[in-house]
Structure 1
Amino acid sequence: MAALQFPCTIFTTQNRMDDYGAKDMRCGDLTEAQLKTHFYLLDVSTRANPYTLTRITPFTQPQSMFYGSREEGEKMTRQQCASILFDEFRQLSRLFSIYGPYRHLIEQMITHMQNGNGSPFRSMYLDRALKEHILNDRSEKNSTRILLEKTFKEKIDWSNNVYPAENKVLLRDAILDGKLPKFDRFQDNFNGMGITVHDTWATHITIKSLQIDNDRYRAVVHYKVQDHFGLDVDDISKFKFNQFRFFRIWFVLQRYNQFGFRPFMTNIEATVEITGGRNENKK
């Protein structure tokens, strides 16, 4: 009986890593007319008009009682306008990031969009959030960690202290039976993770090593997760996004052909240990 060799990748999503052709990775591809007509992006910012490149004042804001009593606001350059929009973008992000150690991440990622020219983003805080998510998920139905733990116990060849190569597919099945770690829980609406990552684009899960002796095993499992910090037309067409100025500014900065700030890949990794024994009772 052949033993499974490690490291061994046991799961990959259909979505591939580094997919720069994805719909939410497009930028600078829409005109002013398209933004206004197709997506109703007329009222974008309270501070600057991205179409006329003018500063918004109480006299130029449609909601103001002073609207129309003076001519349009002061003219500015495209760079100045973008800078004002990014400042407002960061300020509005605080609505979705209220407490906890990850609340500052969204502002860092917005600044990365402003200055990073599409380069990938990494943060030790994102890695920590992923590891905490995996370790704290105690759902026997959903936790990929717990489902792998069960599969190791049941499918290891304890007589020879190996995991049979023919049972590799059962490790993948264990992942498919569960729920991949995503930041779509209730608390993620407020702790900064829901707005920075929320759903994920691609996930790879690799068993780095598996040690078996004395009727015990110790597996080292690596999760590599990638998300896109970008919006597609389906996102902005949904009321739950379009109603927020935060997302309207984001979409205009990314997709308007006069700005075209590039979205980017968010790379997150975590390594966890899974341990157990041949004779352990089911929890």
Structure 2
Amino acid sequence: MAALQFPCTFFKTQKWMDDYAASDMRCGDLTEEQLKSLYRLDYISDRVDPWTLTRRSSMDRPRSIFCCNLRGQGEKISSQQCANILFDEFRDLSHLFSVYGPYRYLIEKMITHMQNGNGVPFRDPSLDRALKEHVIQDKTTNSTRQLLQEAFNTYIDWENKHLPASDKDRLRKVILDGKLPKFNRFQDNFNGMGITVHDTWVTHITLKSLHIENDRYQAVVHYKVQDHFGLDSDDILNKTFSQFNFFRIWFVLQRYNQFGFKPFMTNMEATVRITGGRGAGKH
């Protein structure tokens, strides 16, 4: 029976890599009227009013009894000044979701990338490290690493020291039954990964090599994951998200036709080693 040839990409999610037609990749496509009437974004910032291009006073808040008299009475500013102030507030508000850990600074870098990057894809070694840690440290029985370890233990042709090519689809089905690495765990609400990545858009998994010797094997598996740093209508209409100025500012900076800052692809990769031995997957 023919051996599987490497590298072999045996798993791809249904969504596409580099899908710039996705709903959360739109930008500059909504008017002030649409943002107010469809999404109830009359008030989005404590520092500026993007609709009148004015700075707000410290008393100009929705809950202030003076707001009706003061709104729109502040200093006039340019559209560029308004965007810069919104991005500063955007970064400051991100601290609510990024409290501790080595990834807490990522969200600020990604907001700044949205401000200056003109839609260029984003890469950072911290993202790769976070993905690798997630894959390795997930000890649950339906994690991709655990399931692949069991599959290799079971499907390797030990006599011929290879993995049969006919088992490629078995590997794919194993992953379909498992839990892909996503950053939607409880700790991700505070460590910076939940707000920067959270759910992921697409995952590709590739078996780069498989070394078999003395009834033991070492598989080198590569994960390529992509997410979108952008918001769609479902995001801003979500009651949980819409109550935070953080998401309201983000949506207006991205979707308002007077701003139109481009969302971008967030790319991350990780290579892990999976080891096992003959008979370990049999019960």
Residue by residue, what CA displacement relative to the aligned partner does 1:67-107 show, whole Å, maximum 9, x if unpaired?
Answer: 31697111001000000000000000000000000000001
Give the equivalent residue in structure 2 for 1:116: 117
Give the equivalent residue in structure 2 for 1:276: 276
CA distance in 2, matches of 1:63, 1:73: 18
Give the equivalent residue in structure 2 for 1:209: 209
Residue by residue, what CA displacement relative to the aligned partner does 1:105-149 show, whole Å, maximum 9, x if unpaired?
Answer: 001000000000000000100100000000000111x21011011
CA distance in 1, matches of 2:2, 2:157: 11
**AA partner of residue 269 (structure 1):** E
Secondary structure, counterpart of 1:29 in structure 2: coil
CA distance in 2, matches of 1:69, 1:149: 64
- Residue segments in structure 2 that go unaligned for 5+ positions in a row: none
C-alpha change, 1:42 and 1:69, in structure 2 (3 Å) is closer
CA distance in 2, matches of 1:87, 1:97: 16
Tell me whether 1:3 sits opposite 2:3 in the alignment.
yes
Q: TM-score, normalised to structure 2's length?
A: 0.97
CA distance in 1, matches of 2:178, 2:194: 20
Q: Which stretch shifts more, 68-77 or 102-111?
A: 68-77
Give the equivalent residue in structure 1 for 2:19: 19
Give the equivalent residue in structure 1 for 2:42: 42
Q: TM-score, normalised to structure 1's length?
A: 0.97
Tell me whether 1:129 sits opposite 2:130 in the alignment.
yes
CA distance in 1, matches of 2:7, 2:159: 22
C-alpha change, 1:60 and 1:281, in structure 2 (3 Å) is closer
Give the equivalent residue in structure 2 for 1:77: 78
Give the equivalent residue in structure 2 for 1:144: 144
- Residue segments in structure 1 that go unaligned for 5+ positions in a row: none
CA distance in 2, matches of 1:115, 1:185: 30
**AA partner of residue 234 (structure 1):** D
Q: Following TM superposition, by how much is the alpha carbon of 1:183 offset from its aligned partner in structure 2, in angstroms?
A: 0.2
CA distance in 2, matches of 1:20, 1:198: 19
Give the equivalent residue in structure 1 for 2:95: 94
Give the equivalent residue in structure 1 for 2:157: 157
Tell me whether 1:248 sits opposite 2:232 in the alignment.
no
Give the equivalent residue in structure 2 for 1:227: 227
Do the aligned residues in 2 keep the contact of 1:229 with 1:266 (CA within 8 Å)?
yes
Do the aligned residues in 1 keep the contact of 2:205 with 2:221 (CA within 8 Å)?
yes
Note the 1:184-195 alignment, pairs <5 A: 184-195=184-195
Do the aligned residues in 2 keep the contact of 1:200 with 1:225 (CA within 8 Å)?
yes
Root-mean-square deviation over aligned CA pairs: 1.4
C-alpha change, 1:174 and 1:236, in structure 2 (3 Å) is same
Q: Which stretch shifts more, 271-280 or 70-79?
A: 70-79
Aligned length: 282
Do the aligned residues in 2 keep the contact of 1:60 with 1:73 (CA within 8 Å)?
no
Q: Following TM superposition, by how much is the alpha carbon of 1:66 offset from its aligned partner in structure 2, in angstroms?
A: 3.9
CA distance in 1, matches of 2:61, 2:3: 70
Do the aligned residues in 1 keep the contact of 2:30 with 2:255 (CA within 8 Å)?
yes
Do the aligned residues in 1 keep the contact of 2:57 with 2:70 (CA within 8 Å)?
no
Residue by residue, what CA displacement relative to the aligned partner does 1:239-258 show, whole Å, maximum 9, x if unpaired?
Answer: 01101110000000000000
CA distance in 1, matches of 2:281, 2:210: 21
Q: Following TM superposition, by how much is the alpha carbon of 1:167 offset from its aligned partner in structure 2, in angstroms?
A: 1.0
CA distance in 2, matches of 1:166, 1:153: 16
CA distance in 2, matches of 1:213, 1:71: 74
Secondary structure, counterpart of 2:11 in structure 1: strand
**AA partner of residue 75 (structure 1):** K
Secondary structure, counterpart of 1:172 in structure 2: helix
Do the aligned residues in 1 keep the contact of 2:150 with 2:280 (CA within 8 Å)?
no
C-alpha change, 1:242 and 1:233, in structure 2 (3 Å) is same
Give the equivalent residue in structure 1 for 2:63: 63
